[in-house]
Amino acid sequence: MPSARGSVLAILVAAALTLILPATARAQFDLTEDEPQVKRVEITGNTAYSDKTLRSILRTRSKSFWRGAPLRADFLRYDQGALQDFYRRRGFLSARVDSVYLIRNEGTDVVVRFEIAEGPRARVASLDFEGPSAEEEEAIRGAIPLHADGPFDYLQLEVSRSAIDSLYAQRGQVTASVRDSLEIVEDYVHVRFRIRPGPILRLGTVVVEGAQRTRPGFVTREVTLDRDDPLSRSRLLQSQQRIYNSGFYNDVQFSTGEIDSATQRTDLIVSVRERRLGWLDAGIGVAYAPSLNPSQSLDVLRLSAQVGQRNLFRDGVRFVATARLGIRASTKPQFPYVRDLFAGERRGDISLTRDWLAGVRVQGTLGAFAEDVPAEETTSDSVQTFPFRAIGLSAGLRYELDPVSRVSLVYQPSRVFSDSTTQRTVDGDSVRSYTLNRVVVSLERDTRLNLFDPRQGSYSVATAEFAGGRLGGTAQFLKISGSASRYRPWGRGVTVAVRGRVGMIFSRAEGAAAGTGEAIPALELIPLNDRFFLGGGTSVRGYHDNEIGYVRGDSPSDPNSKTPRGGRLLVLANAEMRLRLTGFIGAAAFFDAGNVWERFEDATWRRVFSFSNGAGYKDMKYTAGLGARIATPVGPVRLDYGWKLRLARGDEPNTVTGRGAFAFSLGQAF
């Protein structure tokens, strides 16, 4: 028997529904049952909009395996008004929700049914303007979505009013006022816009407010308007974005001063709020990738620290110093579960950046780095390993072509004192100490609205690196690469992201022969760190970091050791569907494909598009997987697991790490 408490609660809910719902609403469920649950929500009478679209605005939801859905009278009342408002704002002026039915299903479950009478959609009987000239009226009619004899829509009315305001503001008439009036006769609407254009305002002087630790000139130099220029809205928006991009301010607001009635000049008042100019950050990340040789030591953690100042010498110079330290672990043969921890990879970077060099809007950067990667510890006395030690400098210039495009030129000389692998010279010598001088030219275009978690827009970059030749140095090569990403929303809370990347390295001394008559493979003339590798959380998930490009070693004492080879040709493709589940929780499904090849002729169509049997070393690698996302202000925390669609073939020099791999990181994969 139902409990007394449940019966009383059901009676109270039924009484509330009787008072709140219209007379046409019906409740058909047993008042002696426990609290009703919504089994299903039905919508009838709708033809202009789908059930899915209308359900998205309802608070009343059907129960699922994961959650209950108690019947709530306040939700039903809200939903009835929300549906009616939805239709009327879109021009169905006589639309109404005739009835809300509550139909008993099973036990305490009920079916909620909304019956809608859409009625006809209103049309624009006439569209008139008061105030503008004939030429201006023609321009307005071409800029707004409303037109005579077309469907009427309150949303389009708001868009039209905003478009008219923007049209005048673009001409510098920022004080223009636009008002609309409606006359509704049955299902026809007479629309009239009353416009006061106002004068064309011109720039007098720029006044900066709020700049305390930065110079006012940091603001005025980013304003794209000159004295007596019309206060065009597009140029004001461009100026505002440039001030944001300077990195000194987190809030920028524009306003105008008094207007000179004779010259129509006015001061542009720029109110800014300065950012934190100095900072100190620290972080820790997981960098573990299992080795084929269990006795080898690898980084398992990476510690990082950064200190910076955006306004060094109070001259707008940005100073950034970054340090990274890897923590390695190794097992003892006699105690396989006991690990020794010691320092791994160490790297330090320092840079100075200044905008507006010599009064020209060109950004200049000077930088330096030092890197030390200890040799891998092994238990085999016959295997000798070497550390990697290098230092380098960089000097670069960057110029903004337009608000979304930029070009950069960088010169990077470096000195490698010790390399973990030998570097071949054109004379056939094998060296571990060498110099490398390069020039890097890149062109970048970025239309993403959110750099940390993009949902629309695109990002593309093309890079060319020239090393050696007249620049000097041991290595001589040309490295070309390009990448393009595209982001598009698809439905509610879903983003589709795709990326393609291609890279090629041409060795200047390709095919040269050593003094011994030995032909030197082109790959060995390229330093290891400049070759292509793939694998990891930002390229082909399901493989560990840079794993694609490693081969099994040929050491007699350790045949399972892995040797880095890399490649001269890279092909990478990614597709990902990102879904917002609830609040800050999201999920993703992805498909990755990529590989690197030592020779261009090895990348045949059969190897790229082959899916049968196992994946050979020269075959394209394909993975698919799922991931979880936790949104943060600086991008999502990401945990992905990728499955290899084909395991590595045992008769080829592949490195094998199992069926898949986890990838944990901050920020999207691309």
As a whole number of angstroms, the distance between CA 440 and CA 396 comes to: 9
Angle subtended by helix axes 4-20 and 73-89, to nearest 10: 30
Q: How far is CA 165 from CA 171, 173, 191, 468, in A?
A: 10, 9, 17, 57
CA atoms in the 13 A half-sphere facing the CB of 6: 10
Average pLDDT over residues 164-178: 92
Report the DSSP pairing between strands 637-644 and 660-666. Answer: antiparallel
Q: Which residue matches tokens 């010498």?
A: 313
Q: Is the pLDDT of residue 33 over 60?
A: no
Amino acid at residue number 202: R
Those residues with Cβ within 8 angstroms of residue 460's Cβ, 6 or more apart along the chain or in another chain: 444, 445, 446, 482, 483, 484, 485
> Looking at residues 306-335, what average pLDDT do you find?
85
Q: In terms of CATH, what superfamily is 123-196?
A: membrane protein fhac (3.10.20.310)
CATH hierarchy code of domain 4-117: 3.10.20.310
Q: Does the pLDDT value for residue 26 go beyond 80? A: no
Q: Given a cut of 90, is residue 552 above it in pLDDT?
A: no
Confidence of residue 512 (pLDDT cuts 50, 70, 90): very low
Q: What residue ranges of the chain are covered by domains with CATH 3.10.20.310?
A: 4-117, 123-196, 202-274
The per-residue pLDDT of the chain, averaged, comes to 85
Which residues have a Cβ under 8 Å from the Cβ of 359 and sit 6 or more positions away?
none
**For residue 334, how many other CB atoms are within 10 A of its CB?**
6
**Residue 489: band (very low, low, confident or very high) from pLDDT cuts 50, 70, 90:** very high
The residue that leads in pLDDT, 553 or 269, is: 269
- Which range, 64-78, 296-310, 461-475, has the best average confidence (pLDDT)? 461-475
Amino acid at 606: R
Alpha-carbon gap, residue 110 to 28, rounded angstroms: 8
What was the pLDDT predicted at 432?
Answer: 85
**Each residue of 179-202: pLDDT tens digit?**
999 999 988 999 999 999 889 999
* Residue written as token pair 């999201």: 586
Stronger pLDDT, 13 or 356, i.e. the higher one: 356
Q: For the segment 54-109, what is each residue's pLDDT rounded down to a tens digit?
A: 998 999 988 877 777 888 889 999 999 999 999 999 999 999 998 787 877 666 78
User: What is the Cα–Cα distance from 611 to 647, expressed in whole angstroms?
Assistant: 11
pLDDT bucket at 452, cuts 50 / 70 / 90? confident
Is the CATH number of domain 531-670 2.40.160.50? yes
CATH of domain 202-274: 3.10.20.310
The whole-number average pLDDT for the span 609-618 is: 82
Q: 110 with 39: CB under 8 angstroms?
A: yes
**What mean pLDDT comes out for the span 558-569?**
79
How far is residue 362 from each of residues 401, 406, 441, 587, measured CA to CA in Å?
10, 10, 15, 41
Q: Is the pLDDT of residue 204 over 80?
A: yes
The model's confidence at residue 415, banded by pLDDT at 50, 70 and 90, is very high
Whether residue 383 has pLDDT greater than 80: no
pLDDT band at 292 (very low <50, low <70, confident <90, very high): very low
Contact 531, 566 (CB under 8 A): yes
Question: 582-596 as b/e, with b when 16 or more CB fall inside 10 Å?
Answer: eeeebebebbbbbbb
Residues of the chain with CATH 2.40.160.50: 531-670
Q: What percent of the chain has pLDDT over 90?
A: 58
Q: By the 8 A CB rule, do 355 and 246 touch?
A: yes
Mean pLDDT (whole number) for 429-442: 91
